[in-house]
Amino acid sequence: MGLLDASGDLSSEIEVDAFRCLFPLRFYERHLAESIWPDGSPLGRARETSIAPGAVASADGSALAKIGSTVTVDFHMPPICSPIVRPGRPAEAAPVFSKQLSDTISSSGMINLKELSLVSGKAAWMAYLDIYCLDADGALFDAALLSAIAAFSHLQIPAVSLNDDDPTAEEETIMETVVTVVLDSSSQLISLYKPGGAVLASTSAVQDCIALTRQRVRELLKILDEANSSMEVD
Amino acid sequence: MEYVSPEGLRLDGRRPMEMRQIRAEIGAVAKADGSAVFEMGNTKVIAAVYGPREVQHRSQQMSDQALVRCEYSMANFSTGDRMRKPKGDRRSTEISLVIRQTMEACILTHLMPRSQIDIFVQVLQADGGTRSACINAATLALADAGIPLRDLVTSCSAGYLNSTPLLDLNYVEDSAGGPDVTVGFLPKLDKVTLLQVQNLLNCVILGRFSALVVGKMDSKLPIDTFENVMQLAIEGCKAIANYIREILLENTKQLEYRRGL
């Protein structure tokens, strides 16, 4: 169990779990001091990522519209995904992510809107992208963008990839701030987002984030390629 | 339109009494107390259970039993055309109510007073039989959450087209306008808890069932034919119950193995 000793008997396990619940900040700080995550992996490593394109067979959804070709992005967080989302109280983060994803996709230019046009000036395809979060354990934007890209690649449109180390939901509640970096496949910077707050990010911190992202981009491109080539074989 | 060929094959190649392939997976949503994915042919649903937990609205709290809530919703991409209003419409509200009442009947609510149990089902792919798939998924999710149950509830649908009783209708067969019977069944107690009949005329029933809903009247169905169709659905429920029991046993074995027992 990482830093704290797991002597195997139940009493020490309970202590660790109680400590984690009662003093989450100190729990994580003790691990970070040794440069590891609670599960023992080194800090540079992100969580296991996998993509399954074509997961929903009924959706190849595009609809015919009278004018203009657009991509509408909708991010849904149904009550399934987290204990804090309830039917009467939708997640505040959902429309924020919808907007962020929409902006990222349009500013990156990863979709050539001209390709969606059918009869110039008269008819064009409208692409609807619906993302459903089924299990919210932090890094929602990352996962959402990755799935959006995988879905578009499945439709054969050039891809964009992203992002940083993935914090879990538990970590996000004690985090002071988050920096989101989006790079494309040639490591050009697409967007940088740091929401306002008490913590100031120094230049070196931001540069560290960008370097980490560059490394992650390489990993993700490889995963995307593997997923796409396995789809073609089928 | 021909739904059963002269050789006795349906549109997707099944025999009249043949169910679609079922697949279930427990624990798909790590954040939930209990969760399950259930597939019947191309219909795919995911269910998550949160609870027992503190009641959200104090006024609804019951001092002698748990409050059970259920929400059914369909993903925008679950049907052929993108859906505008996946929840809050009448059909979703009605199905939420049906699922809630069915599951409430089998949960031992008196063991968890002043608490709330939330059941959320999300349809990812819809190809007929979504309410049955949701009930089956909800049963697995409740079992995964460790909530005490009177019995498993399994559900299956059956219909009657081209003078043949058909088991487990897909979307095309369901939309054909023939009678459509959905049954919720308690396998151990051998009792029907839910019976929902749509597109049926002159249906005369019978004291055995605790719930009966008769839908709009379109086609005629003699009473003994109806009994056949219902019996077929019950057989489907029993088959699903066996499969669910296997899945739960396998899951328990995995848990034992992981704990080193």
Read off the CATH number of the domain in which B121 is found.
Answer: 3.30.230.70
Span of A198-207, B19-28, B37-46, B236-245 with lowest mean pLDDT: A198-207
Report the sign of the C-alpha dihedral through residues B243, B247, B248, B249, in that order.
positive
A80 interface with B at CB cutoff 8 Å = yes
Q: How confident is the model at residue A7 (pLDDT cuts 50, 70, 90)?
A: very low
Nearest chain A residue to B48 by CA: give it: A80
Residues from chain B that touch A65, judged by Cβ atoms under 8 A, are none
pLDDT in tens, B21-49: 999 999 999 899 999 999 999 999 999 99
Q: How many residues does chain B have?
A: 261
Residues from chain B that touch A134, judged by Cβ atoms under 8 A, are 28-29, 46, 122
Q: Residue holding tokens 């009678």?
A: B179
Give domain status of residue B10, yes or no. Answer: no
Mean pLDDT of A214-228: 83
The Cα-based distances of A185 to A160, A173, B40, B100, B188 in angstroms read 6, 31, 39, 48, 57
Task: Show Cβ contacts of residue B200 under 8 Å, excluding neighbours closer than 6 positions.
Answer: B179, B181, B214, B215, B217, B218, B219, B221, B226
pLDDT in tens, A122-149: 666 677 888 999 988 888 888 898 888 8
Mean pLDDT of B112-124: 95
Closest CA to A159 of A85, A223, A209: A223
Mean pLDDT of A175-202: 77
Residues from chain B that touch A75, judged by Cβ atoms under 8 A, are none
Instruction: Report the gap between the CA of A203 and the closest CA in chain B (Å).
Output: 36
Residue B38 domain boundaries? 22-259
Cβ-nearest to B30 among A74, A132, A137: A137
pLDDT of residue B185: 92
Q: How confident is the model at residue A61 (pLDDT cuts 50, 70, 90)?
A: very low
- Could you give the number of structural domains in chain B? 1
pLDDT of residue A54: 58
pLDDT of residue B240: 96
The complex's ipTM works out to: 0.73
Joined together, the tokens standing for residue B113 give 């007073």
* pLDDT above 60 for A163: no
Residues from chain A that touch B119, judged by Cβ atoms under 8 A, are none
Cβ-nearest to B42 among A57, A59, A81: A57
Give domain status of residue B1, yes or no. Answer: no
B119 interface with A at CB cutoff 8 Å = no
B124 interface with A at CB cutoff 8 Å = yes
* pLDDT above 70 for A234: no
Q: Residue holding tokens 């089902």?
A: B121
Nearest chain B residue to A87 by CA: give it: B71
* pLDDT above 90 for B88: no
A210 interface with B at CB cutoff 8 Å = no
d(CA B121, CA B43): 13
Size of interface A-B (CB pairs under 8 A): 77
- Hey, which of A118-127, B66-75, B174-183, B218-227 has the most confident mean pLDDT? B66-75
Percent of chain B with pLDDT over 70: 89
pLDDT in tens, A90-102: 888 898 899 888 8
Q: How confident is the model at residue B15 (pLDDT cuts 50, 70, 90)?
A: very high
Give domain status of residue B33, yes or no. Answer: yes
Q: Residue holding tokens 């909530």?
A: B147
Q: Residue holding tokens 């907007």?
A: A99
Residues from chain B that touch A132, judged by Cβ atoms under 8 A, are 75, 122, 124
Q: Which residue has the higher pLDDT, B146 or A44?
A: B146
pLDDT of residue A3: 43
Q: 3-state DSSP: chain B helix, strand, coil percent, rounded to 5?
A: 30, 30, 40
Cβ-nearest to B82 among A61, A76, A82: A61
* Residue B192 identity (one-letter amino acid): V
Please state whether the predicted TM-score (pTM) of the whole model is above 0.90.
Answer: no
Cβ-nearest to B122 among A58, A61, A78: A78
Give domain status of residue B8, yes or no. Answer: no
Span of A62-66, A112-116, A210-214, B248-252 with lowest mean pLDDT: A62-66
Which residue spans of chain A are classified as CATH 3.30.230.70? 49-154
d(CA A36, CA A227): 29
Interface test with chain A among B21, B26, B29, B121, by most A beta carbons within 10 Å: B29
Interface test with chain B among A10, A80, A82, A137, by most B beta carbons within 10 Å: A80
* pLDDT above 60 for A178: yes
Joined together, the tokens standing for residue B244 give 């669910």
Residues from chain B that touch A64, judged by Cβ atoms under 8 A, are none
Report the sign of the C-alpha dihedral through residues A64, A67, A72, A78, in that order.
negative
Percent of chain B with pLDDT over 90: 62
- Interfacial B residues in 140-179 facing A (CB < 8 Å): none
Q: How confident is the model at residue A212 (pLDDT cuts 50, 70, 90)?
A: confident
Give domain status of residue B13, yes or no. Answer: no
Mean pLDDT of B216-222: 52
pLDDT of residue B70: 94
d(CA A196, CA A174): 16
SS3 A229: helix
The CATH homologous superfamily to which domain A49-154 belongs is: GHMP Kinase, N-terminal domain (3.30.230.70)
pLDDT of residue A11: 55
* pLDDT above 60 for B117: yes
A133 interface with B at CB cutoff 8 Å = no
C-alpha dihedral over A15, A18, A19, A23, to 10 degrees?
A: -170
CB B185 within 8 A of CB B154: yes
Instruction: Report the gap between the CA of A148 and the closest CA in chain B (Å).
Output: 14
* pLDDT above 80 for B228: yes
